[in-house]
């Protein structure tokens, strides 16, 4: 069995990723336009990554199997996004959010990465607000929050019960702006069939054009896989049938390591109703 090295940087928990970022080698702005990046997936992860990379000046190609990035499965997310902004002044903090996430992960998640997620949570809300996502606001005009997931503070930023849809529309408009500027090229209705490895590095993908049936090849300096969840490997799942791990599986076959397959979201909405005592509609 191979040991998975998650390459978490050294140092005290709260500083690990900040120190790592401070030491990263920079790419000369003049060189960015010479570097091509393939992003597979145009959900919240892929579309955000692609539009940010395009904005930075890289040449980006984005692939998805749907006819539009707006139909990525992110559209289904409902409840909201947790962030440690402490707007309700109920003593929330980055540490409290970190601690709640560690508990939520049954103490099995990697602490440094969870800390980083808690730390950047506030920027995520700022980012989506800047993209125009209409998060709920209270009567004073500031962003509203609600309390989610059994935590003792109110830190969930939401847009009614359609947070994912609204975030995806915001991300999509930012992606479309980059497409119009020419920094991002969109390839919808493409199914990634294989990953191309050159001297140990991912340098391209093979796709099937789902309209013409043609097999196509695309090369780049780097490949980002943002291909979403793999819920349908389980019989019961809230995820749509398209979330079938096909891209992750090709990467695995080419030597990528795959960890924690049991960390998958199952919503109460996917549990079949057995009798009248069971709630028929559960909103998360
Ligand atoms: C019902 C529901 C409620 C949720 N509620 C919340 C919530 O309240 N808060 C929260 O934070 N999260 C929530 N989530 C989870 C959240 O929605 C997801 O974790 C997130 O949206 C995943 O985004 P993604 O970009 O990684 O994947 P996706 O949006 O699934 O995008 C995957 C992309 O990869 C592409 N792709 C996949 N395979 C291939 C292939 N072989 N070839 C080409 N393209 C491919 C697809 O076309 C798509 O564009 C919820 C999820 C569900 C289902």
Query: Which 3-state string (H, E, C) describes 46-93?
Result: HHHHHHHHHHHCCEEEEECCCCCHHHCHHHHCCCCEECCCCCCCCCCC
d(CA 222, CA 197): 10
**Atom of ligand 1 minimally distant from the CA of 69:** 49
Predicted pLDDT of residue 46: 98
pLDDT at residue number 102:
95
Burial class of residue 8 in the structure, from the number of CB atoms within 10 Å of its CB (0-12 exposed, 13-18 middle, 19+ buried): middle
**Residue ranges of the chain whose pLDDT lies below 50:** 282-284
Ligand 1 center to 149 CA (angstroms): 20
- pLDDT attached to residue 263: 78
- The answer as to whether 116 is a domain residue is no
- Determine, yes or no, domain membership for 124: no
Residue 97 to residues 43, 80, 128, 211, 222, Cα–Cα distance (Å): 25, 15, 19, 45, 33
CA distance 32 to 57: 6
Q: Are 165 and 184 in contact (CB under 8 A)?
A: no
Neighbours of 97 (CB within 10 A): 25
Choose which residue among 69, 74, 82, 192 to substitute to test ligand 1 binding: the one with the highest number of ligand atoms within 8 A of its C-beta. 74
Look at residue 183 and tell me if it is in a domain.
yes
**The pLDDT value given to residue 40:** 98
Number of domains in the chain: 1
Domain membership flag for residue 16: no
Pocket of ligand 1 (CB under 6 A): 40-46, 63-66, 72-74, 76-81, 163-164, 190-192, 226-229, 238-239, 243, 246-247, 265, 267, 284
Atom of ligand 1 nearest to the CA of 148: 8
Q: Give the Å distance between the CA of 171 and the centre of ligand 1.
A: 13
Report the candidate in 236, 231, 241 with the shortest Cα–Cα distance to residue 261: 231
Looking at residue 2, its pLDDT comes to 72
Say which residue the tokens 């919808």 belong to. Answer: 188
User: Which residues is 195 bridged to in the sheet?
Assistant: 205
Indicate which atom in ligand 1 lies nearest the CA of residue 246: 41
pTM of the model: 0.93
Does residue 81 fall inside a structural domain?
no
50 inside domain: yes
215 phi/psi in degrees, rounded to 5: -90, 130
Domain for residue 267, yes or no? yes
Is 180 in contact with 174 (CB distance < 8 Å)?
A: no
Domain span at residue 53 reads 33-72+164-284
With respect to residue 114, please indicate whether it lies within any of the assigned structural domains: no
Q: What is the CATH number of the domain that holds 228?
A: 3.50.50.60
Convert the pLDDT of each residue in 182-210 to its tens digit.
Answer: 999 999 999 999 999 999 999 999 999 99
């Amino acid at each position: 069995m191979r040991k998975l090295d998650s390459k978490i940087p050294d140092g005290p928990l709260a500083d690990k990723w900040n120190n790592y970022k401070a030491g990263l080698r920079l790419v000369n702005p003049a060189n960015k336009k010479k570097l091509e990046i393939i992003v597979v997936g145009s959900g919240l992860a892929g579309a955000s990554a692609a539009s940010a990379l395009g904005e930075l000046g890289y040449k980006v190609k984005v692939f998805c199997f749907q006819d539009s990035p707006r139909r990525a499965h992110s559209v289904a997310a409902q409840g909201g996004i947790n962030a440690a902004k402490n707007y309700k002044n109920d003593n929330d903090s980055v540490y409290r959010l970190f601690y709640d996430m560690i508990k939520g992960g049954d103490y099995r998640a990697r602490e440094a990465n969870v800390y980083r997620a808690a730390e950047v949570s506030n920027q995520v809300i700022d980012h989506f607000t800047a993209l125009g996502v209409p998060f709920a606001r209270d009567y004073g005009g500031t962003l509203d929050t609600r309390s989610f997931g059994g935590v003792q503070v109110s830190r969930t930023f939401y847009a009614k019960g359609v947070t994912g849809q609204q975030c995806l529309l915001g991300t999509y408009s930012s992606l479309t702006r980059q497409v119009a500027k020419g920094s991002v090229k969109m390839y919808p209705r493409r199914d990634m069939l294989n990953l191309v490895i050159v001297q140990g590095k991912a340098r391209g993908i093979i796709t099937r054009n789902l309209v013409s049936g043609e097999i196509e090849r695309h090369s780049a300096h780097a490949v980002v896989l943002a291909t979403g969840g793999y819920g349908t490997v389980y019989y019961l799942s809230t995820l749509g049938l398209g979330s079938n791990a096909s891209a992750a599986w090709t990467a695995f076959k080419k030597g990528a390591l795959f960890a924690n397959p049991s960390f998958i979201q199952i919503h109460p909405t996917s549990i079949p109703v057995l009798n009248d005592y069971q709630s028929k509609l559960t909103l998360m």
